[in-house]
Amino acid sequence: MGIYPRHSFLRQKRLRRTGRAGGPAQVQIHQPLQRLKVSKPGMSGARKVHIKSFGCQMNVYDSHRMADTLAPEGFAETATPEDADLVILNTCHIREKAAEKVYSELGRVRALKQAAARDGRRIVVAVAGCVAQAEGREILRRAPSVDLVVGPQSYHRLPALLARVERGEAVIDTEFPVEDKFDILKAPSREATRARGVSAFVTVQEGCDKFCTFCVVPYTRGAEVSRPVAKIVAEVEHLADAGVREVTLIGQNVNAYHGEGPDGSPWTLGRLLERIADVRGIGRLRYTTSHPCDVEASLIAAHRDLPSLMPHLHLPVQSGSDRILVAMNRRHGRADYLDAIARMRGARADMAFSSDFIVGFPGESEQDFRATLSLLDEVGYAGAFSFKYSARPGTPAAEMADQVPEEVKSERLQRLQAAIDRRQAAFNARSLHRSFDILFEKAGRRPGQIVGRSPYLQAVVVTAPSTAIGDIRSVTITEIRTNSLFGALNATPVRAREPMPAEAGG
């Protein structure tokens, strides 16, 4: 069955769940590479690593953890690949375009590597993330300048794998090891955390057991695993201590979280959020990405009870048509989805929602597509991401009859995006003259300006000193330009929770 045999997924799942020994890492050795000088710390200063992330927040988080784990090995981060000794591309396999981007980037990196070699300097090239997991050895065949291929579940082994590369080997490690990578990864230094800003991601859950028919995640990221509560709390405390004010808990199916609590029982995401809300210094909480089937009572209660939990939920639905939802194996219908939204709004009237949509899934008719457009109207989203269906090798949908022609997908995507843009503009327009708490994150483009985020993730620009970066301050929105909101600081914080005024007719 294509490139992701289900039995291998089930084996990974068994190993990771039971903690049974999985044997040594599957490190494959290829022909020796030409040995060139690799600078060592203490010889010519720190080595430099450039990490480029593609795709989702999970990859951004993983890239940070790779940098943290390489720091004690003498690697300092650099923003440019030109002066790097090690270039890591942390890749995404979710759509064909995302995966192909990696190969064009590897073309650029190969040119850099060749130029460095002419100067007697070696650049080590690593491919990490989901393309590494899915394509493994194929990457070395298509891009021989790559020295190391490492999957999302084994990047904690980077120091050892790099040592092998330095000995002249080309290495592939796409194993799903039994050891917990989070136990081995190094924590970020205070300086690294500060440099990354006041808002941080924390992975609480990885992998997916849902098997939507279009999606590669269950194969590339493996089975659903939740981190224990105590370890997550310790990580959040460490971040708060270094000045982080907002934490977004992340996972491919974050609301299916069921990590071990301090009492030994599995905790839900709602309970975890309640615990993290108590961490001193954390003023805001978010979580992403959620599945509609896992919107359960404790999560709704958390939205009702926790003022620091932002009233914004990214709840992907993919399609508004029941027929297509069945074909996608989403395990919920349109009515279930609307019910989850209604339950959330019942708990907190100021909740706003965003979603992901796929257009042109195999068999999608114009009528199915119109059901998606009508769902958009029914929910009244604050924003959404939309994608053309991309057939992924090895997934059931790629084998389905009735693949939708490319031009139909393009036309539907255009219509959907226009409808989403109208919704987003209407949502932003309703923010005018209202006051929100804004978390200021960075300097603005113009001198004297700083930029922050509203509870609904809208970018808000104000004129204020940069010392306010890291503060949560009340702001009244005075102007709206495309997707940026401009405002003025208020003297007092916002206390009352007010719902966003309903759209006329919506």
Binding site for ligand SAM (CB under 6 A): 56, 94-95, 214-215, 217, 252-253, 289, 291, 316, 318, 356, 358, 387, 389-390, 392
Which is nearer to ligand SF4, 252 or 458 (by Cβ)?
Answer: 252
Q: For 176, left (φ over 0), alpha (ψ -120 to 50), or beta?
A: beta
- What is d(CA 380, CA 426) in angstroms, rounded to the nearest whole number? 9
Asked if the bond preceding 482 is cis, omega within 30° of 0, the reply is: no
What is the size of the binding site for ligand SF4 (CB under 6 A)?
A: 10
Q: Which helix (H) or strand (E) holds 411?
A: helix 406-429
Residue 13 interacts with, from ligand SAM, ligand SF4, none (CB under 5-8 Å by kind): none
Contact 382, 456 (CB under 8 A): yes
Quote the least distance from Cβ 94 to ligand SF4, whole Å.
Answer: 8
Quote the least distance from Cβ 392 to ligand SAM, whole Å.
Answer: 5
Would you call 448 helix, strand, or coil by DSSP? coil
Quote the least distance from Cβ 255 to ligand SAM, whole Å.
Answer: 10
Residues 286-325 that bind ligand SF4 (CB under 6 A): 291
Binding mask 401-440 for ligand SF4 (x = CB under 6 A): ----------------------------------------
Which is nearer to ligand SAM, 279 or 404 (by Cβ)?
Answer: 404
Quote the tokens at residue 452.
């922050």
Which is nearer to ligand SF4, 123 or 327 (by Cβ)?
Answer: 327
Would you call 479 helix, strand, or coil by DSSP? strand
Radius of gyration of the chain (CA): 23
Which is nearer to ligand SAM, 75 or 389 (by Cβ)?
Answer: 389
- Terminal Cα distance for the chain, rounded: 45
Quote the tokens at residue 498.
């007010």
Quote the least distance from Cβ 291 to ligand SAM, whole Å.
Answer: 5
Residue 56 interacts with, from ligand SF4, ligand SAM, none (CB under 5-8 Å by kind): ligand SAM
Asked whether position 210 contacts ligand SF4 by CB under 6 A, the answer is yes
Quote the tokens at residue 7.
């039995």
Residue 218 interacts with, from ligand SF4, ligand SAM, none (CB under 5-8 Å by kind): ligand SF4
- What is d(CA 71, CA 46) in angstroms, rounded to the nearest whole number? 10
Please select the residue that binds ligand SF4; options are 12, 90, 145, 252, rule is CB under 6 A.
Answer: 252
Which is nearer to ligand SAM, 401 or 491 (by Cβ)?
Answer: 401
Quote the least distance from Cβ 238 to ligand SF4, whole Å.
Answer: 28
Residue 95 interacts with, from ligand SAM, ligand SF4, none (CB under 5-8 Å by kind): ligand SAM
Helix (DSSP H) and strand (DSSP E) numbers for the chain? 16, 20
In the block, tokens 């919920």 appear at 332
Which is nearer to ligand SAM, 54 or 155 (by Cβ)?
Answer: 54
Please select the residue that binds ligand SF4; options are 177, 188, 218, 452, rule is CB under 6 A.
Answer: 218
Asked whether position 211 contacts ligand SF4 by CB under 6 A, the answer is yes
Fill in the DSSP letter of residue 343.
H
Which is nearer to ligand SAM, 228 or 316 (by Cβ)?
Answer: 316
Q: How far is CA 18 from CA 57, 225, 483, 491, in A?
A: 28, 11, 48, 55
Across the strands, what pairs with 52?
Answer: 89
In the block, tokens 């490492």 appear at 150
Quote the tokens at residue 460.
């808000």
Quote the least distance from Cβ 102 to ligand SAM, whole Å.
Answer: 16
Would you call 286 helix, strand, or coil by DSSP? strand
Residue 358 interacts with, from ligand SAM, ligand SF4, none (CB under 5-8 Å by kind): ligand SAM
Quote the least distance from Cβ 72 to ligand SAM, whole Å.
Answer: 31
CB atoms within 10 A of CB 4: 17
Fill in the DSSP letter of residue 37.
B
Please select the residue that binds ligand SF4; options are 78, 248, 253, 424, rule is CB under 6 A.
Answer: 253
- What is d(CA 133, CA 425) in angstroms, rounded to the nearest whole number? 39
How large is the greatest C-alpha to C-alpha distance in the chain, in angstroms? 69
Among the residue ranges 103-111, 131-139, 161-169, 215-223, the one whose residues contact ligand SF4 (CB under 6 A): 215-223
Quote the tokens at residue 35.
């040995």
The contact set with ligand SF4 (CB under 6 A) reads: 208, 210-212, 215, 217-218, 252-253, 291
